[in-house]
Amino acid sequence: MQDLAIHAEWTIVHEGGRHVPVRDLYTHVRDGLIVALSDRAPAAARLVEVEAGIVHPGFINLHNHTINAPLFRGIVDDLPRSAIGESKVYSMLMPMGGLAVTGLAADALHDLVALGLLEVLRSGVTTLLDQFRPRQRATLEHARDWGLRLYAAPYLFSPAPVIGNAQVARAATGSFEGNSGLTAFEQLHAEFDEGSGGMIRVILGPHAADSCGPDLLKRVDLIARERNLLVTTHLAQSQGEVDRIRERHGCLPADYMASVGLLREGVIFGHGVHLEDGELDRIAAAGATIAHCPTVFLRGGKAPHYARFARPGMCLGIGTDAERMDFYAQLRASGFASKQATGESRSATAADLFAAATTGGADALRRPDLGRISVGARADIVIVDALKPHLQPVNDPLRSLVWYASASDIHTVIIDGKVVIDAGQTPAIDRDRIIRRGAVATTQAWQLARDAGCFPAEADPQSHS
């Protein structure tokens, strides 16, 4: 692996627990590690330079479903509540996803996943945590081939009689790998997991508090503790979920997680939008993590925001949930929502949001070598070309990135010391082919949904022609 010398006008380094902008710095990379930060280029290294650029640590996407990005683009947007029902997750998203993985030909599913994952790769994200149905092996295969750092969490579900609610059970059907999906997890773990520090990790991904019963979750907790694996699950993503937990178990979602051993460090909860304040305090005290995904809820009229989750001791990361993969846009949306909700401009600063997107995610993954530019860290680095009218002049690089940048401004992406995006191009990936084939596969999945009656008429131009 060739040594790299990375240079731009600004570099966001990690010092004293904070991200600090420094001018005219060279980041020396060798064997996938940052080995030095200096004011001159090392000899015999490939120079990667963007003169008016901003070098920053790659983002950590702590909660995502790659297949959903193309599958629901332009489908769920602007839908009235009457078209969605109690939960779009169970009335629309899960059924359509299940149809895609069972009804598409293997090569079409491969193309659909590739389209979503290409968007991730071009979004400023260098580490991805993704939940998906076990049949989506393509997520693991593409990440391995493209050099993306992946924490893969194949779904686990309880059998329908345990779930109880008919709509939840119907939507959850589709692990298609035995009653729970644990057999498929073991197979994927054996084949793809690279162990501590590896580029590909296969972790435990029970779907949600209302689609997984106590026996399964206790089994997940046991496996995780025995093998020192992370666990991720959806928690309190809808009021319906909260109501079902209360009805079945007589408690709040955080209490339910505590009862099965999962209110602790090493557990990442997706969303937490409908958690009560006391529950958030308990999660923070227990050392668990919230993966905050703002725009997927903001587009539906709910307003989760950074300031609500930011409390003493809380480990907080950022995810996209496959809506608007552009990570800068995610940070901006959460920040604006925080300022509007609190009436206070400093309720979510650029520095706060940037930390959640980098070191917050790294802490959740137990990876102190990620999410920062410092000597000894893995070389997961993004360079933004700031010579753009919407980014000049640069007064504070962190504020420029969070409040003004977009994924289209990315010039270079380096993951584990390898250049995967160079001058905006993906030299090892046929971008145009993936876009063409992925779009075709997506339209095929849409037709499957129409035929099955789970494509919302209000979102379908064919119903208005």
Evaluated on CA atoms 434, 435, 440, 441, the torsion sign reads positive
Query: Is 456 domain-assigned?
Result: no
**Co-location of 49 and 184 in the same domain:** no
- Say how far apart CA 417 and CA 424 lie, in whole Å: 17
CA dihedral 175, 220, 63, 337 (to 10 degrees): 120
By residue count, the chain amounts to 465
Q: What b-and-e string marks burial along 169-179, b requiring 16 or more CB atoms within 10 Å of the CB?
A: bbbbbbbebee
Max CA-CA distance within the chain? Answer: 66
CA dihedral 414, 415, 417, 421 (to 10 degrees): -30
Residue in the structure block whose two tokens are 């725009």: 295
Calculate what percentage of the chain has a pLDDT beyond 90.
79
In 3D space, the residue among 179, 131, 165, 161 whose CA is nearest the CA of residue 245 turns out to be 165
Query: Is 387 domain-assigned?
Result: yes
User: Residue 214 belongs to a domain with what CATH number?
Assistant: 3.20.20.140
Domain boundary among 318, 337, 364: 364
- Say how far apart CA 449 and CA 95 lie, in whole Å: 8
- Say how far apart CA 94 and CA 177 lie, in whole Å: 16
Query: Is 336 domain-assigned?
Result: yes
- Once rounded to an integer, what is the mean pLDDT over residues 326-334? 95
Query: Is 427 domain-assigned?
Result: no
**Co-location of 65 and 123 in the same domain:** yes
pLDDT at 159: 82
420 in helix, strand or coil?
strand
- Is residue 462 pLDDT above 80, yes or no? no
Q: Output 298 or 245, whichever has higher pLDDT.
A: 245
Binned at pLDDT 50, 70 and 90, residue 166 comes out as low
Check: CB of residue 44 under 8 Å from CB of residue 29. no
> Phi/psi of residue 262, each to 5°?
-110, 15
Written as six digits, the tokens of 21 are 């902008």
pLDDT digits (tens, 9 = 90+) for 127-141: 999 999 998 999 999
**Co-location of 18 and 151 in the same domain:** no
**Domain count along the chain:** 2
Binned at pLDDT 50, 70 and 90, residue 417 comes out as very high
pLDDT at 76: 81
Binned at pLDDT 50, 70 and 90, residue 452 comes out as confident
Query: Is 103 domain-assigned?
Result: yes
**Co-location of 124 and 239 in the same domain:** yes
Binned at pLDDT 50, 70 and 90, residue 369 comes out as very high
Own/partner long-range contacts of 181-190 (Cβ < 8 Å, ≥24 apart): 181/134, 181/154, 181/155, 181/156, 181/157, 182/156, 182/219, 184/134, 184/154, 185/134, 185/154, 185/156, 188/134, 188/137, 188/140, 188/152, 188/154
> Phi/psi of residue 149, each to 5°?
-75, 120
Q: Output 359 or 85, whichever has higher pLDDT.
A: 359
- Say how far apart CA 384 and CA 53 lie, in whole Å: 5
- Say how far apart CA 330 and CA 297 lie, in whole Å: 11
- Say how far apart CA 177 and CA 143 lie, in whole Å: 22
Check: CB of residue 52 under 8 Å from CB of residue 385. yes
Written as six digits, the tokens of 328 are 């800068």
- Say how far apart CA 415 and CA 145 lie, in whole Å: 13
**Co-location of 197 and 332 in the same domain:** yes
Q: How many CB atoms lie within 10 A of CB 350?
A: 20
Query: Is 445 domain-assigned?
Result: no
pLDDT at 225: 98
- Is residue 170 pLDDT above 80, yes or no? no
**Co-location of 65 and 206 in the same domain:** yes
Query: Is 254 domain-assigned?
Result: yes
Q: Give the 3-state DSSP-derived string for 278-342, with helices as H, strands as E and coil as C.
A: HHHHHHHHHCCEEEECHHHHHCCCCCCCHHHHCCCCCEEEECCCCCCCCHHHHHHHHHHHHHHHH
pLDDT at 392: 98
Q: How many CB atoms lie within 10 A of CB 327?
A: 27
Written as six digits, the tokens of 201 are 């990790």
Binned at pLDDT 50, 70 and 90, residue 465 comes out as very low
pLDDT digits (tens, 9 = 90+) for 10-68: 999 999 999 999 999 999 999 999 999 999 988 889 999 999 999 999 999 999 999 99
- Is residue 195 pLDDT above 90, yes or no? yes
**Co-location of 52 and 93 in the same domain:** no
- Is residue 101 pLDDT above 70, yes or no? yes
- Say how far apart CA 312 and CA 285 lie, in whole Å: 8
- Is residue 464 pLDDT above 60, yes or no? no
- Say how far apart CA 272 and CA 291 lie, in whole Å: 8
Domain boundary among 331, 364, 397: 364
**Co-location of 41 and 170 in the same domain:** no
pLDDT at 171: 67
pLDDT at 79: 77
**Co-location of 20 and 161 in the same domain:** no
CA dihedral 74, 77, 80, 82 (to 10 degrees): 70
**Co-location of 203 and 131 in the same domain:** yes
Beta bridge partners of 215: none
What are the CA-CA distances from residue 418 to residues 33, 186, 289, 362, 415 (Å)? Answer: 10, 30, 29, 19, 5
Beta bridge partners of 130: 64, 152
- Say how far apart CA 449 and CA 169 lie, in whole Å: 18
**Co-location of 205 and 160 in the same domain:** yes
Query: Is 83 domain-assigned?
Result: yes
Strand order in the sheet with 381-385: 33-38, 18-30, 4-15, 46-57, 381-385, 410-415, 418-421
Q: Output 101 or 168, whichever has higher pLDDT.
A: 101
Q: Which of 84-93, 151-160, 171-180, 415-424 has the highest mean pLDDT?
A: 415-424
Residue 399, domain extent: 4-58+375-421
User: Residue 43 belongs to a domain with what CATH number?
Assistant: 2.30.40.10
**Co-location of 334 and 407 in the same domain:** no
Query: Quick one: 79 exposed, middle or buried, by C-beta within 10 A (0-12, 13-18, 19+)?
Result: middle
